[in-house]
Structure 1
């Protein structure tokens, strides 16, 4: 099953091999060129830090470090987030998009940020997490319930902030190359320099596979005969460059550029539900490009100003073919669709600790989203929306051990243009404006330096997306421009400690009450008398509650271990529709054994219970257990080689029924850090 063959498309692999060798040479000559030690985190890109750069008193946030992403070989954003309790990995199988659910809510309710800048496809709010690789990140910061109002709008279920790298030495970097089953290749290189008054950071990465192998236990279907998954090619390039200026203590100004170029295919439905349509889809390109400016300016000894300005482009194309030959487009269901979107905006944050025992922050946000789409040869259809937000947050030191965080924000969404090409006379949809207030409060008490408890309540909203309001869903629905924001009230009780001076414990109880949840409703079809169709409406009343626990410890000098468990229950109080894509139970565990300093063995396991793939409960993705294992050997300081197996037991499983995941996959990697 393991095929590590070089092909005519893998010349880049040898280029990155040369880059790795160059890094080895440079790294060997620059070991003494250190300015200071640091963790390489681009702190301008963080949201929840204090005026003095200390960690926020909000102990509910969690971080995934660069080291953890590499240790567990989590090359894509979704797979990295899956390490965190309360988060479950999923896919939209029909679109071949990876996503996560945070305590039961999807990406529309939990936006993605890059260094504090919101990044998502303006049309539907769904970034494809498979297109985001982790090679250039220093950390991922996750807020799952009590989310700072400084993030801006639409954080009803939390926020995920991708924080890039910032160099801390005169010369530093890391690089890696690797191969995996399915004629797959991965490679990356990051190089940075830190000087007295400026710094520079750049990176490049590549992730590609021609196909993936299905489990030997997969039962063939008419659209999938097994072995190599049909239509499963992918290719993703990423580039990034950051230039920073540090003219004085506390002053920092950085200009960042990033670009992602992707191409993917969508494997056809391979399940047994007669209601599912087999689609023959390919995406010739899925690209993102942007330029961001981040700054921090001290205002005296106790105040500061932080600014962000950004411009991002999102372009993708979808081709729908007649059949598995992927060569003709003659059927009515076939099309060539293109999205050409962009967004721009900015934010300004002011903070001060002039009032004793208070850290007050105020932030204003502005964002303009523009979506243009067409099916060739039709003209482009244009949508424009703008969002304003202003929020204030006060961290109050009541005593040395007791802190309170109070927050309030006001958000407003306005429709600028929404063209409706479904009618021969061409008209605009009516304007659709909405606003919302979002209050929240949290108490945080420290019994000791390690034993802490938190209690919080927050009311957050999520504005409906352009797709929610205006999409005809390929003729299966009618629009509803009058949709209101969804409203969610989050409650959380958390506790953390270090037991026996060794075992790190973090646990939380959470409850969410959602009103005006957007659900599809069967209504009379206004264009076909006697027929029915679907329409999104604010009729949902949903409760979500659960429990999560995370334990990790160095059991001995050579043995580390950790486990986390999540229980989530979704209660749709409106009708019998199932809440999809969220398992009730998720369990993750790992053990790392290091018999000698230069050699280690790692094994991890994840078990998920079943999840519904359709709201009527007909399609169900069954429960599964996946085991991964690898060995790592340090050839010399900073240079490592590793090899292992993903899905060691060759489990036949799916996040979305009918869209099976990869079976047993072998890999090997060579990495170097200096």
Structure 2
């Protein structure tokens, strides 16, 4: 069986007003209310794909698309409490994206998926490191770079070895490169490697469900000049007990092993934390 899918969309954005009170991002004048340039944008996007089912429960999907992403208000105007220089003239980025995916389901117990992708990006939105604060934390500014390539692959599976128990995992790898001639800046905040695995165990006699998951994140660049945050692994758990019909008690632990980690230099994340909740379903 072969299916074809096509689609198209048109989007536009027109800013009406953008203001901020504080230090003017261009003149340096303090304690003033000032206007940012407003700007507008529009884009016509389209997509085509083919879905092939060579045998039952096995699918191969190939797609190509032209995508647009408008620069957000936060990316254009936010100063992030002094850690970012606003760029009201930031343009939108445009991507030619190609994807191939193979997915299969084997009986009622096992399913898996393999996917590969290449994105050729024009005017990629990029957080360039432009300075540092007095405490040494980097200051960045969102800018457009000429060309970039994002490529990688993803793997995932789900398995039910016994009744009331589910196992699963997914892994992704992404390589983000600045392809502008004469430039080799680093894309920030995205790890090359990411792995997530989970176990879900249901105990009907106790009206309880236990979820345990593990998250692994590889190294990521924190500045465009090459500074990196180390890899880290988190283990989380959540127990949910049905007390009476419609009422559940939840108890969870995040970062069970109390690992030290950070995503941005100078901003460590929380250690082991606990959460409890009482939920009622109407």
Q: CA deviation at 1:470?
A: 6.4
Note if contact 2:216-2:234 (Cα within 8 Å) is conserved in structure 1: yes
Paired position in structure 1 for 2:6: 406
Paired position in structure 2 for 1:511: 118
* 1:553 paired to 2:162: no
Q: In proportion to residue count, which structure has more strand?
A: 2
> Of residues 427, 441, 453 in structure 1, which corresponds to 2:60?
453
Note if contact 1:634-1:640 (Cα within 8 Å) is conserved in structure 2: yes
Paired position in structure 1 for 2:247: 639
Q: CA deviation at 1:477?
A: 5.2
Structure 2 counterparts to residues 231-250 of structure 1, below 5 A = none
Note if contact 1:472-1:479 (Cα within 8 Å) is conserved in structure 2: no
Q: 1:502 to 1:584 in 2, by over 3 A?
A: same
Number of matched residues?
Answer: 261
State how far apart, in whole Å, the 1-side matches of 2:196 and 2:264 are: 20
Q: 1:431 to 1:595 in 2, by over 3 A?
A: closer
Describe the SS at the equivalent of 2:267: coil
TM normalised by structure 2 equals: 0.77
State how far apart, in whole Å, the 1-side matches of 2:83 and 2:248 are: 54
Paired position in structure 2 for 1:488: 95
* 1:594 paired to 2:202: yes
State how far apart, in whole Å, the 2-side matches of 1:643 and 1:466 are: 37
Describe the SS at the equivalent of 1:497: strand
State how far apart, in whole Å, the 1-side matches of 2:79 and 2:274 are: 43
TM normalised by structure 1 equals: 0.35
Q: 1:457 to 1:667 in 2, by over 3 A?
A: same
Q: 1:447 to 1:537 in 2, by over 3 A?
A: same
State how far apart, in whole Å, the 2-side matches of 1:559 and 1:604 are: 14
Paired position in structure 2 for 1:670: 278
Describe the SS at the equivalent of 2:261: coil
State how far apart, in whole Å, the 1-side matches of 2:275 and 2:141 are: 46
Note if contact 1:639-1:672 (Cα within 8 Å) is conserved in structure 2: yes
Paired position in structure 2 for 1:604: 213
Note if contact 2:104-2:111 (Cα within 8 Å) is conserved in structure 1: yes
Describe the SS at the equivalent of 2:177: strand
Paired position in structure 2 for 1:240: none
State how far apart, in whole Å, the 2-side matches of 1:550 and 1:407 are: 27
Alpha-carbon deviations, 1:143-169, whole Å to 9, x = none? xxxxxxxxxxxxxxxxxxxxxxxxxxx
Structure 2 counterparts to residues 20-59 of structure 1, below 5 A = none
Q: 1:633 to 1:463 in 2, by over 3 A?
A: closer
State how far apart, in whole Å, the 2-side matches of 1:446 and 1:452 are: 5
Q: Of the two, which has the highest radius of gyration?
A: 1
State how far apart, in whole Å, the 2-side matches of 1:609 and 1:534 are: 22
State how far apart, in whole Å, the 1-side matches of 2:143 and 2:254 are: 42
Describe the SS at the equivalent of 1:582: coil
Note if contact 2:109-2:159 (Cα within 8 Å) is conserved in structure 1: yes
Structure 1: tracts of 5 or more residues without a match: 1-400, 524-532
Q: CA deviation at 1:564?
A: 1.0
* 1:579 paired to 2:187: yes
Q: CA deviation at 1:467?
A: 5.9
State how far apart, in whole Å, the 2-side matches of 1:518 and 1:593 are: 42
Q: 1:499 to 1:433 in 2, by over 3 A?
A: same
Q: CA deviation at 1:465?
A: 4.2
Describe the SS at the equivalent of 1:655: strand
Q: CA deviation at 1:621?
A: 2.1
Note if contact 1:478-1:534 (Cα within 8 Å) is conserved in structure 2: no
State how far apart, in whole Å, the 1-side matches of 2:252 and 2:34 are: 57
Describe the SS at the equivalent of 1:556: coil
Paired position in structure 2 for 1:627: 235
Structure 2: tracts of 5 or more residues without a match: 131-138
Alpha-carbon deviations, 1:514-554, whole Å to 9, x = none? 0112446799xxxxxxxxx9976533311111111221122
Paired position in structure 1 for 2:134: none
Note if contact 2:9-2:46 (Cα within 8 Å) is conserved in structure 1: yes
* 1:614 paired to 2:223: yes
State how far apart, in whole Å, the 1-side matches of 2:273 and 2:74 are: 37
Note if contact 1:581-1:611 (Cα within 8 Å) is conserved in structure 2: yes
Q: Which has the higher contact order (CA 8 A, sep 6+)?
A: 1
Query: How large is the RMSD of aligned CA atoms in angstroms?
Result: 3.4
* 1:444 paired to 2:44: no
